Amino acid sequence: MKKYIIEVKNLVAKYGEKIVLDDISVNIKAGEITVILGSSGCGKTTLLKNILRLYEPYSGSVKIFDQEVTTMDEPEYNLILKKIGVLFQGGALLNSISVGENLAIPLEQHTKLPDVIKDRIINLKLELVNLAHAKYLKPSELSGGMEKRVALARAITLDPDLLFCDEPSAGLDPITSADLDRLILNLKEKLNMAIVIVTHELASIHRIADSIIFLHKGKMLYHGSLEAAEEANIPEITEFFETGKFD
């Protein structure tokens, strides 16, 4: 069995003429938590969206579960999506329907489970993020942090093999954020999920990261373990970690 779940080769991404990702090659291991970090605007979200085919890469190749996805047709890619959960930076809950219905969408889309079972799965996932009471609320009635947590619940309704989280803990208080990290660690250990997370929170990085990818101005400066990164003497990375200890 191959141990890489995502293989990105020579990925270049552009917005118009502007190069946002410059020749990124990276392999992400199964069953690990990989943290993508880098300063604001360096291209983290863009990298995720190019991997997930939401943007068409300018050039390069992306393999997920050993299959080339950049050239794949839609029905085939939908099968892959079944095994992927995504938490977007802003939550991206569908605003016209309730929290419970939001969680029901992936279940309806990808499974033929009877309604009773679906309903219990929804309850279970909401319970995981401590929001069972919010089931019948509309997303507009939630706070920012609650929206994030519901969005995480939606991303894991199908127990995906691969979970992407774009800044899950931004805007959360330290306690909720630690709870979230615990949940993420559980997902990795109990369900053997591979998780790719974009985050700036140093505390969170230390708690969860198995390996880190450091982006700087569209280039990948480092990929490897956190400990090695702190000793690698790459000025940008040292600065990133040192500044965090500012006070």
Partner 1 sequence: MNFEEPLNKETIPLLMQQLDKLNASNIDIFDFKQVERVDSSGVVFIEYLHSRFVNAEFINISSDIDFTLQTFKSDLDEKIIEPVKPGFFENAGDIIYKTLEQSKEVMYLVSDILYWSIVGIFNHKGQRKDAVAQQMLLIGIDAIPIIGLLSFILGLILSLQSAAQLHQFGADIYLADLISVTMITEMGPMLTAIMVSGRSGSAIASEIATMTVTEEIDALKMMALNPIRFVVVPKFHAMTLCMPLLVTLSMFVGVLGGAIIGSYYLNIAPGLFWSRVFAISSLRNFTIAIGKSIVFSWVIVIIGVYYGLNVKGGAEGVGKVTTASVVASIFWIIVLDAINSLIFYY
Ligand X SMILES: Nc1ncnc2c1ncn2[C@@H]1O[C@H](COP(=O)(O)OP(=O)(O)OP(=O)(O)O)[C@@H](O)[C@H]1O
Query: Residues interacting with ligand X, by CB under 6 A?
Result: 15, 20, 40-46, 89
- In the block, residue with structure tokens 């929290």: 99
Nearest distance from C-beta of residue 92 to ligand X, angstroms? 14
Tell me if 213 contacts partner 1 by CB under 8 A: no
- Select the span of 19-27, 49-57, 170-178, 226-234 touching partner 1 (CB under 8 A): 49-57
Residues 111, 83: contact at Cβ < 8 Å? no
Beginning with the edge strand found earlier in the chain, give each strand of the sheet holding 67-68 in spatial order: 18-29, 4-15, 59-64, 67-68
Residues 62, 70: contact at Cβ < 8 Å? yes
Nearest distance from C-beta of residue 239 to ligand X, angstroms? 16
Nearest distance from C-beta of residue 106 to partner 1, angstroms? 5
41 interface partner picked from Mg ion, partner 1, ligand X, none, CB below 5 to 8 A per type: ligand X
Nearer of residues 87 and 99 to Mg ion, judged by Cβ: 87
81 interface partner picked from partner 1, ligand X, Mg ion, none, CB below 5 to 8 A per type: partner 1
Tell me if 106 contacts partner 1 by CB under 8 A: yes
Tell me if 94 contacts partner 1 by CB under 8 A: yes
Strand partners, 103: none
Nearest distance from C-beta of residue 178 to partner 1, angstroms? 26
Q: What are the helix (H) ranges across the chain? A: 44-51, 74-81, 99-110, 115-128, 144-155, 174-191, 202-208, 226-231, 235-244
**Nearest-angstrom CA–CA distance, 154 and 235:** 38
Tell me if 199 contacts Mg ion by CB under 5 A: no
In the shown chain, the binding pattern of residues 51 to 80 toward partner 1, with x for contact by CB under 8 A and - for none, equals -x-x-------------------x---x--
Structure tokens at 34: 């990989």
Strand partners, 212: 35, 224
Q: Which of 10, 25, 109, 243 binds partner 1 (CB under 8 A)?
A: 109
Beginning with the edge strand found earlier in the chain, give each strand of the sheet holding 33-37 in spatial order: 84-87, 162-166, 194-198, 33-37, 211-216, 219-224
Nearest distance from C-beta of residue 119 to ligand X, angstroms? 35
- In the block, residue with structure tokens 């938490």: 87
Tell me if 45 contacts Mg ion by CB under 5 A: yes
Positions that interact with partner 1 (CB under 8 A):
49, 52, 54, 74, 78, 81-82, 84-86, 88-95, 97, 105-106, 109-110
